[in-house]
Structure 1
Amino acid sequence: MDNIQYEGKINQILRDETRYACVSRNEVNLAYHKIDTRLEDMVYEGNIDKKTHDYLILVEKPKIPVIFRIPKIHINLKNPPFRPIVSADGSETTTLAKFVDTKVKHICVNKKVILKDSWDLLRELTSDLYTENLIFVTVDIADLFSSIPYSTGMNMFEEIVFKNSPLKTPLQVLDVANCCLTHVDMAYLANSLHSEHLVELDLSGHSVTELFPSTFFKLLNRASHTLKRLTLEECNIGDGQINMMILGLVSCRRLQEFRFIGNPISSRGLKRLFNMFIGLPQLQYVEFPVPRECYPDDVTYPLDETTLSSYDRNKYEDIRAELQLILVHANREDISVSTPLFGSFDPNIHETSYELGVGMLQSFKDALASFVTSLKNVN
């Protein structure tokens, strides 16, 4: 095959618009810019450190990758099909490819289905594999990589990485309430493969919408298909964050319980949330805070125990009735709502954790008093 025939075959292949598309230099530059921006975001989110970032952007004047094809003469000597090869050496993604390769190549190295070359095949063909009627069969897939949709390939890649991670079983319950989470921690949670399997999530005590807006909503989005119980108590969520909260929660179609007491939200903000709640088909239970206007104007959050119980009860009951009416008009009386001031309500014992603790403490005191009395009577 001479150069003219080779170039003709290459051009014929590249004209296949179902697999290839012409792009302008401007589109290429925009793609480079997206890569650089994403790498900067990864540093900010704590996914990579500054040293790694500097290595990944090491290519100062990237080249455009070059495609060429190797004739597969073992299939047809006279009119061989081509195997496409893209040489990306020196391109924008050169260092990225090397970085990813060092992180995942250990997964494939020891797989029995992987053969490096013909010599590797011969090493595998030991005497115990050979039989008298042994027949070699080869399967050739035309344009394998260009036939796999990008999303399908990425999903399979994530699945393989997950199966080879130290934690084999998906994490379903994550309680990190009042744990002083950092940007790095939230970035890890949001990007972890386990986030797609979460059933219960508690981030109480963290200003998630203020400190970690992007990673928090990414975490909610990734967990939206499995999340059933969400707790965001004392997260400093006010009326200014209601829009963001609605955007984050509206995709959580399997949510059954939502607790967000201790947040400075007014009745107006609560009404907007309740109008969103009626669209969550599996929601059964909601714990909402005492509306902000039921407290004096000069209170600060988080509220101490004395301030917490010093609210306008008449105003609270009026607002609660309005919120309940939203559910009634939408035929969602199946959603139970409450405002436990001290601890979360446990439907199995019909008490809050605080009330249960007080009850147990009182029972202990009574038992101790009875014991002391009995001792005195014996003496």
Structure 2
Amino acid sequence: MDEAGLSRRGLLGLAIGAGAAGLAVGAGAGTAAGVAVGRAREREDAESAYAFFGAHQAGITTPVQDHLHFAAFDMMARTTRDDLVSLLQDWSYAASRMTQGLEVSATGAVDGSPEAPPDDTGEALGLPASGLTITFGFGPTLFETVEGEDRYAIAALRPRALERLPAFLGDDLDPAASGGDLCIQVCADDPQVAVHAIRNLSRIAFGRARIRWSQLGFGRTSRTTAAQSTPRNLFGYKDGTANILANDAASLDEHVWVAASDEPAWLAGGTYLVARKVAMLIETWDRVRLSEQDAIIGRSKGEGAPLSGGTEYTEPDFATTDANGAPAIDPNSHVRLAHPEHNGGIRILRRGYNYVDGNNELGRLAAGLFFLSFQRTPESFIRLQRSLSTDLMAEYIRHVGSGVWAIPPGARDGSFVGAGLFA
């Protein structure tokens, strides 16, 4: 890989800027520093490769990457069980290569016949793996269509908990941006690597499945490791402070992973994914005074500490009162309503992203949160979402897209994701 490759997406500009500043104060010093930073970043990116095969699918507890490309697919009409199995096999093979920084096949983008379309589209040639993870899921309609058709002889194996989510207060769902027989969550530290993965998996699916809807995301809104700092959402608040972390095995077993004692057996070691596209009324929020914003969230905008006092990681004290004797944390604040203390101890693993889809017809930002959560059962999310029916933040958001999928356990080396469903 040439050195220029490491500086794409603005890093080159930063390095050049550092070099120019160095020239102003001392010849060459800034340039050398910029190149050193760039080379260090290149090595770091190249080493960020996560195995596709394993007990659990990557992209759940993996350190949250900077970029997302999410896509929901529908199987094509008149496809067979064999078509579905072959698609999952082909996807798994391609994913196992791309996550290691390889092309989708041995012949790839340039080594095949010049008289045939290449196996790989080529836009990731020369780029490192960039922490790429590819996570596959099965929607309710894969098992049985809304008309009750069992297309692939798997209806009897549908998890009982895998049903279309109920309607929630504040829903304004677009059917064209909701649901899907299959889903693929792609995360990476380079947006081009993420887009390359979805593009090639979609191409591989030709004739068997097609994209129903997709979403690009940037700027993670959660963390899954203690080494990661807490990011901010587009309202400017730290998001995911109390998220379940990858090293918390007990909490993962209790709240995220499907157990061997759960039903069905083929899903043991897997989980359930809920995706919600949450439009934020950015311009309205930006006119709210800071003290009111804090009260709505239940945390300070700067430190991220609960309004009951302490630091970001201090546990909220909902009994604390202010100088007037009122609760320091509003009973209808987001923090209080979503807290496990008020939801039977329920916790979920969040993995969301910010998004901006340009402007809407009114000239306002079409932006918000692409919410992703993993939980042992969708009932956990449903209970939390119902608890938020009186959330003060509801005035400033709209849920416009939705979906739920069963996430199979990780594939064994040489096998494919979801193989247990067809055993």
Q: TM-score normalized by structure 1?
A: 0.23
- Bigger helix share: 1
Higher relative contact order (CA 8 A, sep 6+): 2
Q: TM-score normalized by structure 2?
A: 0.21
